[in-house]
Amino acid sequence: MADSPSAAPTANTQLANFSAPMTGEQTFELQGRPAKYTVLYFYPKDNTPGCTTEAMAFRDHHDEFTGLGAAIYGLSRDSLRSHESFKSKLGLPFELISDPEEAVCTQFDVMKMKNMYGKKVRGVERSTFVIDANGKVVKEWRGVKVNDHVTEVLDFLKSQPPGAQ
C-alpha cells in the first residue's frame, strides 16, 4: 500500500513507491514501470456518465499515448470486480487500479468534500498525474472537466523533448 506523504504531490514531486491491486490479476507498482511515462488518472466511480466518457476518451487515444511512451492507468475506490466489469464493458486496453481503502487516493490528496444533489459527500476529485520513469510527477491536473481533458494530457506529452524523463 501507499506510504503516507507529508504533502500532496505536485509537479516535480518525487513519489515514494506504492503498490495497489489492479485488473488482470496484477499489482500496480510505481517503481520499475517499463513506460517512459505513467498517466495515472483518478476518477470517482465506475459506470457513471462522466467516468465512462473519460475512460472511453483514454481508450480511444490509447495508441497515441503508447506511441509517446506513456502507459495509462485509471484508479478509483471501486472493487476489482467492478473494475473488471467496467473494463470489459468498455473494451479498455489499459488496467484499472482498485483503492477501496483510499491509500493511494490519500497519497495523491484527491479525496475531497463535494456537493452532490445539495448534500456534502466525500469523494474522489477527478485528477490526472503524469509521472516519469523515475517516479517524479511531471504534470498534474486537479478538478478535471472531462471534455477535452485527454487532449490536454496528450498535448503535454507531445510537448516533452525527445528522450526527456
Residue 20 grid coordinates: 495497489
Nearest partner of 99 among 48, 27, 47, judged by Cα = 27
Can you tell me the distance from the alpha carbon of 69 to that of 134, in angstroms, rounded to the nearest whole number? 14
Spot the catalytic one: 22, 51, 92, 138: 51
Distance CA 50, CA 147 (A): 9
Rounded CA-CA distance 130/136 in Å is 8
State the DSSP H helix or E strand holding residue 119, giving kind and residue range, or none if neither: strand 119-124
Q: Where are the alpha helices (DSSP H) in the chain?
A: 49-60, 62-67, 80-90, 103-107, 149-159
Active site residue 105: no
Catalytic residues: 51
